[in-house]
Amino acid sequence: MQIENRKSKIENKMSMSLQNPVAEKVVAAVIPAAVLDNLAARFRPGGLCLLMLNCDGSLAYSDSAAGLFFQRFAIPMIQYPDPSAGLAERVAAMNPQSAVEVWSAMPGVVLAAFPYVEKRQLCGVMLLAAKGNSFRLGEEVLRVCSRLGLDGIWLNQQAEELPVYGDEAIQRQARLLLGMIRDQVRLAGLECELDSLSGQLANTYEELSLIYQLSSGMKINRRAVDFFKQACLDVMDVMGVRGMGVALQNASDQIEPVMYGSMSLPPGKVHRLADELLTVLTGRKSPLLVNNLPADKTFAWLGDYAKQLIAVPLQRQDQVLGCLFGIDKHVGEFDSVDSKLLNSIGNESAIYLENVKLFEDVHGLMMGLLHSLTSAVDAKDAYTCGHSERVALLSRHLAREIKLCEHDIERIYMAGLLHDVGKIGVPEAVLQKTGKLTPEEFEQMKKHPEIGARILSDIRQVKDIIPGVMHHHERYDGKGYPSGLAGENIPLMGRIICLADCFDAMTSNRTYRKALPLEVALTEIRRCSGTQFDPRLAEAFLGAGGEQFRELLRDYEQQTRRLSDLQQSLRPAAA
Amino acid sequence: MTEKTILVADDESHILHVVSLKLRNAGFRVLTARDGQEALEMAQQAHPDLLITDYHMPQLSGLELCQRLKQDTQTSNIPAIMLTARGYHLEPHDTEQSGILRMLSKPFSPRHLLSTVNEVLEGKAA
């Protein structure tokens, strides 16, 4: 009873004395407290207490779950050491190369110490504390007790169950701890490295998915301006910038410099920026990063609108085709990750740009050749002048009416353009004959679809339109030529061109008759629906209103007339 | 707000690393599994708030995993985001039988994944 009373009194006193600022500080050195707690737990059962000191000797860490012997006696003694124990001197004498040392100058406690080193710098001192073999309730221990406000008998009780460590035993434990710390540090380093690699990998993923997204948008028939708009918006999102823009060399025949995003720059300034960037990038051929615009020689003027600028050239071989640029990051500055990302996008875009240009060149060349070819055919027969072009336009319109896809519509236009190309192989005498054809002449005339198909069969790019050329004189009831196909067996292209061909033939002047009035032509189409023409197409044609087609052709005629007038007016000037 | 737990299942460790780093940095608790079977057991034990799973995995495919979780009343309310190879499409009827709310094709943007995760957790994807 008495003892218990005294004990509680002591503990009260103790807790009061421990109102002192006890070490709850985060370790100054780089070991996370959680790691130290883990290590401390490994040594606690062996009656050892883990501590760490900063380089100035102050307590950086102590095992907060250690027994009362350590909490009340050993730790405070280390935390507020008696100068005679020389703890400060020993800490000061530590250097990164120091081996495990045993410090036994403190009464009743034995310490094993070794330096904690990071990057060859001393970052602190690790300590293992245990009850030393010098522990007895002698004068020295009692003196410490009174200094710390402890009851000696109570302390003796706390110490009783603790194992005693000799110098060698505690040194062994300290070496064990040293090994564990090295492992932990290495592990923490590896984890850190793993996180950094994962972070880089995440950036690469970001880049990859962006490039994937862009590549899938690289449709050759897509307008470059749409492609770049999407690219700018995507990059803006991934890179986190206020504005993204693009500028191309020779803007006149491509697209104007343009900027997207929340960043508003007057149009004149966008042009100025584009010109200056193109000049700078044509010279350096590598990404440009400016994180302090007002201080930049070339772009200081932009400092009124923005703080940061990044730009990469779009280049193929040595030629700079244009540039992509970004303005103001939402967070932080432009760095090498950004320039690498934007450079990849720039390279992809340059390839796309080059492909579009090549495609346009080749496509333009081919269409030019095809037009020359049809003009040559039409020229053989003055009365059918412009017929091929009109059939092509009518076919395209009809294809649109029946909601074919854009690709098919364009192929049908081309088929319409070339449908009579086989007439090259028909004698002019037959083509230009004003009277009725003899059966032999008609046989010659009937060969033109096949001749046309044969001429085109050598051109890979137009193979898919051959059915349209081959079968534009088939009839829905099967009585046409050259194959006598009927109904849906006639390729759709052939059925469409057939209708367009007949309509144009009826509504234009021919060698043997004047053009029929529109109403007559439409009535004729209605009459022949299901016999000569596919009824579904005839219906669409009539439904769309022949008037629409007439308008289409009138527009075309006006255009050609204007063109020929222009040519006429130029001729005398040239002569 | 309590910390949400997300279970990530993929047999490609680099995906696990990238995804868990991204999610941890965003303040989620992340559990990882390297195959469908392991993921199933972890989901049954830990009841995550969300599952992110690859489609192609050894033992148990991502789809089977989601279907199994859906069948068990204990885990049937766990929403899922499925990662698939690019160009791979699941039938709508397959996803009906599972908790799959979103699909992302690889290579996916980690930022996009994070915003998808937030949408699903806020219930916008339901």
pLDDT at A5: 46
- Above 80 in pLDDT, residue B88? no
Partner-chain contact A197 B107, CB within 8 Å: no
Task: Kindly determine whether residue A198 and residue B18, on different chains, have CB atoms separated by under 8 Å.
Answer: yes
Q: Do residue B111 and residue A195 have CB atoms under 8 angstroms apart?
A: no
In tens, the pLDDT along A359-410 reads 888 888 888 888 888 888 877 776 666 888 889 988 998 999 899 999 999 9
> Average pLDDT of A429-456?
89
Contacts of A537 (CB under 8 A, 6+ apart): A398, A402, A495, A496, A499
Least confident stretch, A77-86, A163-172, A292-301, B82-91: B82-91
B53 in Cβ contact with B10 (< 8 Å): yes
Q: Which of A191, A204, A209, A337 to mutate to test the interface with B (most CBs of B within 10 A)?
A: A209
Phi, psi angle pair for B58, to nearest 5°: -70, 165
Instruction: Chain B: give the shortest CA distance to residue A224, in Å.
Output: 24
- Chain-chain contact of A205 with B18 (C-beta, under 8 angstroms): yes
Question: What tens digit of pLDDT does each residue of A537-555 get?
Answer: 999 888 876 566 667 767 6
Distance from CA of A209 to the nearest CA of B (A): 5
- A205–B86 CB contact, under 8 Å: no
CA distance B85 to chain A (A): 12
Is A202's Cβ below 8 Å from some Cβ in B? yes
Q: Residue A7: what pLDDT?
A: 44
Residue B56: phi, psi to the nearest 5? -90, 105
DSSP A261: E
What 3-state DSSP class applies to A48?
A: coil
pLDDT in the model for residue A564: 61
Tokens of A431: 């083509």
Q: Could you count the other beta carbons within 10 Å of the beta carbon of residue A171? A: 19
**CA-CA distance, B24 to B26, in Å (whole number)?**
5
Taking 80 as the threshold, does the pLDDT of residue B120 lie above it? yes
Closest CA to A204 of A337, A310, A313, A334: A337
Indicate yes or no: CB of B109 within 8 angstroms of CB of A210.
Answer: yes
Q: Hunting for tokens 């000569």 — which residue is that?
A: A532
Interchain CB distance below 8 Å, A205 and B110: yes
**CA gap A121, A570 in Å, rounded:** 89
Predicted local confidence at residue A570, as pLDDT: 53
B26 vs A contacts (CB less than 8 Å): none
Residue A25 in this model has a pLDDT that exceeds 50: no
End-to-end CA distance of chain B: 21
pLDDT at A14: 39
Q: Which residues pair with A319 in a beta bridge?
A: A316
Amino acid identity for residue B40 in this structure: L
The domains of chain A, with CATH numbers, are 2-188 (3.30.450), 217-358 (3.30.450.40), 381-574 (1.10.3210.10)
Q: What is the DSSP string of B52-104?
A: EEESS-SSS-HHHHHHHHHHSTTTTT--EEEEEETT----HHHHHTS-EEEEE
CA Rg value for chain B: 13
Cβ–Cβ < 8 Å for A98, A114: yes
Region B75-88: mean pLDDT is 87
Identify whether the C-beta of residue A444 lies closer than 8 Å to the C-beta of residue A422.
Answer: no
| Cβ burial, residue A447 (10 Å; 0-12/13-18/19+) | middle
Average pLDDT over residues B76-88: 87
Is A23's pLDDT higher than 70? no
Percent of chain A with pLDDT over 90: 34
Q: Is a pLDDT exceeding 70 seen at residue A448?
A: yes
Residue A70: its pLDDT value, please?
Answer: 93
Determine the residue among B10, B18, B32 to mutate to test chain A binding: the one whose Cβ has the most chain A Cβ atoms within 10 Å.
B18
Strands A319-329 and A241-248: antiparallel
User: Is B49 in contact with B78 (CB distance < 8 Å)?
Assistant: yes
pLDDT bin (cut points 50, 70, 90) of residue A2 is very low
What are the chain A neighbours of B111 within 8 Å (beta carbons)?
A: 206, 238
Contact A27, A33 (CB under 8 A): yes
Give chain B's domains with CATH numbers.
5-121 (3.40.50.2300)
Q: List alpha helices for A217-314, DSSP H.
A: 224-239, 267-284
pLDDT at position A21 is 37
Residue type (1 letter), B66 = C
Interchain CB contact of A30 with B (< 8 Å): no
Which A positions 227-246 lie with beta carbon below 8 A of chain B? Answer: 238
The CA-atom distances, in angstroms, between B3 and each of A61, A298, B79 are 29, 50, 16
- Which amino acid type is present at position A353? L
A 10 A CB-CB count for A367 gives 12
Q: Quick one: how far is CA A386 from the chain centroid?
A: 49
Four-point Cα dihedral A9, A12, A15, A17, nearest 10? -70
What is the overall mean pLDDT for chain A? 84
d(CA B108, CA A217): 16
Query: B21 vs A199: CB contact, 8 Å cut-off?
Result: yes
> Could you tell me how many CB contacts below 8 A there are between chain A and chain B?
34
State how far residue B14 is from chain A, nearest Cα, in angstroms: 7
pLDDT value of residue A514? 78
Q: Per-residue pLDDT for A15 more than 80?
A: no
Rounded to two decimals, the ipTM of the complex is 0.81
Q: Is the pLDDT of residue A3 over 50?
A: no
Q: What is the pLDDT of residues A484-511, one digit of tens each?
A: 999 999 999 999 999 999 988 888 877 6
CB within 8 Å: A202 and B18: yes
Beta strand spans in A365-473 (E): none
Q: What is the pLDDT of residue A129?
A: 95
Q: Residue A503's closest CA among A533, A481, A482, A479?
A: A533
DSSP string, A514-538: PPPPHHHHHHHHHHHBTTTB-HHHH
Token representation of residue A352: 């796309």
Chain centroid to Cα A390, Å, comes to 45
Q: For residue range A116-169, list pLDDT tens digits in order.
A: 988 788 889 999 999 988 788 788 888 888 888 888 889 888 888 899 999 999
**Structure tokens belonging to residue A312:** 């990469």
pTM summary value: 0.59
If we measure between CA atoms, which residue out of A125, A133, A37, A29 comes closest to residue A78? Answer: A125
